[in-house]
């Protein structure tokens, strides 16, 4: 059973030492290459100009999307992460980027009187939520902060594969740093404990809650999003168990419309 205060667990797990080494894990250059402009294309297709990156972490997408011309705000529930993101934004010449500490369950209070064209929650971040009550609360906050015709983008590891078939990783798209091994230490339907082992012997852990692809799609629809398109490792056509990562793109339409059969697998 999930512990009662699991929703705050991430704050203690992202220690300043782990946060300092996060970029060694994700490797900005190789990640950018692996993504191949995927998120930029999705946001441009949705005509987004203003973007809120609610799990900014060390700022990878806030900075990348900012450099691509989007008007990006970054937020994160971990003050350690936000500090690091500020450093990284400054180093990338984006020192004026707005970056602040904000928890998903009370996002609206951090952005009163403001709406965004797109909200992204990337890097398997959403699985830091441990039950449907928290997930639906966070999704309602996201939905409420989106403009009409807005786009929400949430990604997560392919937990269906991890739970049903066992962990594998192609190691092609995420966590590309060569000095870190990232793998689940334990896997159950309730909790996955991820272990990050660095080549110098330092080891860090994160505790997340596996969410199955169909379940997150269901929760997005429950929240009110009219369409959800899914991608597996950035491909719209994919076998359910094949990809390492799933990306869900949800639309909040102003009017009930039939979306054009653009790209991702429409659910
Ligand atoms: N998007 C970044 C960071 C991913 S790590 C990347 O891809 O590199 C997941 C992030 O989600 C962490 O920075 C963590 O602090 C944040 N997070 C987890 N739960 C949160 C919550 N309830 N509210 C706000 N941020 C949260």
pTM value is 0.94
CATH of the domain at 188: 3.40.50.150
Instruction: Give the pLDDT confidence of 160-219 residue by residue, as tens digits.
Output: 999 999 887 777 667 777 788 888 999 999 999 999 999 999 999 999 999 999 999 999
Nearest to 111 by CA among 144, 133, 148, 157: 144
Task: Give exposure, 150-175, as e/b (b: 16+ Cβ within 10 Å).
Answer: bbbbbbbbbbbbbeeeeeebeeebbb
Instruction: Give the pLDDT confidence of 45-73 residue by residue, as tens digits.
Output: 999 999 999 999 999 999 999 999 999 99
Residue nearest to ligand 1 atom 26, measured at CA: 77
Measured distance CA(140)–CA(154) in Å, rounded: 14
Regarding the beta carbon of 245 and ligand 1, being less than 6 Å apart is answered no
Distance 129 CA to ligand 1 centre (A): 10
Domain that holds residue 228: 6-257
Residue 262 in any domain: the answer is no
Residue 42 in any domain: the answer is yes
Chain-centre distance for alpha carbon 8 = 17
Residue 106 in any domain: the answer is yes
Residue 107 in any domain: the answer is yes
Residue 264 in any domain: the answer is no
Measured distance CA(97)–CA(73) in Å, rounded: 7
Measured distance CA(238)–CA(241) in Å, rounded: 8
Residue 267 in any domain: the answer is no
Please name the residues in contact with 209: beta carbons below 8 A apart, sequence gap of 6 or more: 2, 6, 127, 128, 129, 130, 131, 190, 191, 192
Question: Could you say which DSSP state residue 126 is in?
Answer: G
Regarding the beta carbon of 121 and ligand 1, being less than 6 Å apart is answered no
Per the CB < 8 A criterion, the answer to whether 67 and 8 are in contact is no
Per the CB < 8 A criterion, the answer to whether 207 and 13 are in contact is yes
Residue nearest to ligand 1 atom 4, measured at CA: 123
Q: Return mean pLDDT, the chain.
A: 92
The residue-averaged pLDDT of 5-34 equals 91
Regarding the beta carbon of 82 and ligand 1, being less than 6 Å apart is answered no
Measured distance CA(152)–CA(140) in Å, rounded: 11
Domain count, the chain: 1
Residue 11 in any domain: the answer is yes
């Amino acid at each position: 059973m999930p512990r009662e205060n699991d929703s705050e667990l991430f704050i203690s797990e992202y220690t300043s030492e782990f946060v300092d080494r996060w970029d060694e894990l994700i490797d900005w250059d190789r990640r950018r290459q692996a993504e191949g402009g995927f998120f930029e294309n999705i946001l441009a297709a949705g005509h987004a100009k203003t973007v809120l990156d609610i799990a900014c972490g060390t700022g990878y997408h806030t900075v990348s999307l900012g450099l691509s011309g989007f008007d990006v705000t970054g937020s994160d529930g971990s003050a350690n992460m936000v500090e690091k993101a500020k450093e990284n934004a400054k180093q990338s010449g984006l020192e004026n980027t707005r970056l602040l500490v904000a928890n998903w369950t009370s996002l609206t209070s951090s952005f009163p009187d403001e709406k965004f064209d797109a909200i992204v929650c990337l890097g398997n971040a959403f699985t830091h939520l441990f039950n449907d009550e928290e997930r639906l609360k966070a999704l309602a906050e996201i939905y409420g902060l989106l403009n009409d015709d807005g786009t929400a983008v949430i990604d997560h590891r392919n937990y269906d594969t991890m739970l049903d078939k066992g962990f594998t990783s192609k190691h092609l798209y995420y966590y590309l740093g060569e000095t870190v091994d990232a793998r689940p230490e334990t896997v159950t339907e309730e909790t996955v404990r991820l272990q990050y082992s660095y080549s110098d012997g330092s080891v860090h852990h994160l505790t997340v809650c596996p969410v199955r692809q169909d379940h997150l799609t269901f929760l997005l629809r429950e929240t009110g999003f009219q369409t959800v398109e899914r991608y597996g490792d950035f491909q719209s056509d994919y076998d359910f168990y094949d990809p390492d990562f799933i990306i869900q793109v949800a639309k909040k339409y102003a009017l009930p419309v039939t979306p054009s059969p653009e790209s991702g697998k429409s659910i």
